[in-house]
Structure 1
């Protein structure tokens, strides 16, 4: 099926229509944030699921109850998805935890007024592409990726769900009032998960003992998260996501793009990246 059949064009970007009906998009536009809310913001395939495991464990002081009893899409729901309409989010006690794949400038007026804490995760876009290439093939609500080179051009041009990786990242890097935003990368989580957990906890104002930090980091290792049925998407029916083609939690590594892209594709990617990011001064781990 094509983009016209499966996607809604919303504020210039593609959104999967099956997950983002008009009423859920309107719900987010009118959503009222609280100052103590926590928002995980990502471009898709950049570590959202990982952070949906880490943050609840930090906020609970290491108590695993929430990550063992609630699917990640309910414990830290996406505000733009239709599921948000039925979760009574207004009734949830503070601090509430949410996710979004929106760009910074797409957030509702209340976000800019109360300035809740945001954790923005970046990831090497070549690995984002690689993860997306496998993921798109498993779902019924996304356009099939087709030949790799064809999907690569779509990805680089932003003709994929949630638009251009470059525009998304730049929108958040150029955010105003950056003191309420923590920038962290997928690669940093891989390099030192314990240190990352400690830094996230400090940003969120949670004082945790070293052994609690260690326990959270251990639980959030990729191999352990894959065993958690509340996090590995095994609850999603096969007609929506067929994990026999590719596991949702596939590898959890950095640099898998080297196994995916041809030399010519990698060179083309680098050329586009250099041009699109030429005015960005932020130093990424992969640069």
Structure 2
């Protein structure tokens, strides 16, 4: 994957060079691109995604803000859509990380890793499954104006911050870089200067669209999925037009999918213990705790007050709200 940061340093991309940039939680810069903070390595991918992606009516896109339950939802969606093709005993999820099976549009499909992404897309088995962190307002019209389905997952902003901070510090450690202190990372987060942020506008973009077009965009909260995964897996199947039959339900197919995709199951698989995504990121970094309310172990009263105020201000009037787990 070519690094936009490297191109900028070499003076090869004046358009990117002119963008406002800030340090993010990772080692690279974030660029204010189309009103969101885009990692340097993703800018060209987002541009190509917007320009070249031609959606098909059967496409399914799992969208998310980073560190909100993406891996879990990808696995559940893949297993649900492909339940007729694989048995629980011989399933691709047992030997492949979910991100390998469901490629990210801006980081994988439309990046330098794939020489001819359009040809690659045309050869994919349908229904095609993808993932993306791109905000709704920056998705290509071929996707937003088609009958393709978008499933979006978000998470309590408190837990999202802790998950992102710990994840990117692990990434930094693999690069022999010092960890970011919680307070420094928290300021970035509160200012919205995080990958694909601001996080509030990312959530609100998909939230508002789900209210206007509920048959197009399904909006899920990580906490709701955790509390009643059986109910929401059924809802996902219905939303995608492949509902579970009464026979499947009685045969325990839903429970089998839930077990296969559970945090405990995936975390203990050899591929997610020692494998790497694209030979770069350790698969184990995608699995930390998967808990609700772990943020309480990190937040001081003053930090709780500050983030609570931001959530109240940014989500005001939207009808989108989060429970305060602790």
| Residue 223 in structure 1 maps to residue 243 in structure 2 | no
Q: In 2, are the aligned partners of 1:188 and 1:285 still within 8 Å (CA)?
A: no
1:90 & 1:152 partners in 2: Cα distance? 42
- Please name the residue that 1:257 is paired with: 295
Judged with a 3 Å threshold, the aligned counterparts in structure 2 of structure 1 residues 59 and 178 are, in CA distance, closer, same or farther, namely: same
SS for the counterpart of 1:114 is coil
Task: For structure 1, list consecutive stretches of 5 or more residues without a partner in the other structure.
Answer: none
Q: Is 2:275–2:282's contact at 8 Å kept on the other side of the alignment?
A: no
Aligned equivalents of 1:282, 1:225: Cα separation in 2: 30
Q: Which has the higher helix share?
A: 2
Whether contact under 8 Å (1:133, 1:145) holds in the other structure is no
Instruction: State whether structure 2 residue 145 is matched by structure 1 residue 113.
Output: yes
**SS of the counterpart of 1:133?**
helix
- Corresponding residue for 1:61? 83
43-52 or 247-256, larger mean C-alpha shift: 247-256
Question: Under a length normalisation based on structure 1, what TM-score does the superposition of the two structures give?
Answer: 0.88
| Partner residue, 1:167 | 201
1:145 CA drift (Å): 5.9
Between the aligned partners of 1:204 and 1:178, the Cα distance in structure 2 is 12
Deviation at 1:285, TM superposition (A): 4.9
**SS of alignment partner, residue 174 of structure 1:** helix
Unaligned residue ranges in structure 2 (runs of 5+) = 6-21
Please give the alpha-carbon distance, in whole angstroms, between the structure 2 residues aligned to 1:79 and 1:37: 12
For residues 255 and 199 of structure 2, what CA distance do their matches in structure 1 show?
32
1:122 and 2:154 are equivalent in the alignment: yes
* CA gap 1:144/1:216 in 2 versus in 1, 3 angstroms: farther
Question: Alpha-carbon deviations, 1:198-247, whole Å to 9, x = none?
Answer: 221121122331210010111122111102345x374228x95478xx84
Higher radius of gyration, 1 or 2 = 2
Q: Does 1:193 align with 2:229?
A: yes
* Secondary structure at the counterpart of residue 49 of structure 2: helix
* Cα distance, 1:84 vs structure 2: 4.3
Q: How much has 1:90 moved relative to structure 2?
A: 2.4
> Whole-Å Cα distance in 1 between the matches of residues 143 and 324 of structure 2?
30
CA distance in 2, matches of 1:194, 1:156: 34
Length, aligned pairs only? 282
Q: In angstroms, what is the RMSD of aligned CA positions?
A: 2.8
TM-score of the pair, normalised by structure 2: 0.78
Higher relative contact order (CA 8 A, sep 6+): 1
> How far apart are the structure 2 equivalents of 1:57 and 1:100?
18
Q: Deviations over 1:142-161 (max 9, x none)?
A: 99762211211110111111
Indicate yes or no: 2:72 matched with 1:72: no
* CA apart distance, 1:12: 3.2
2:65 alignment partner, one of 43, 58, 75: 43
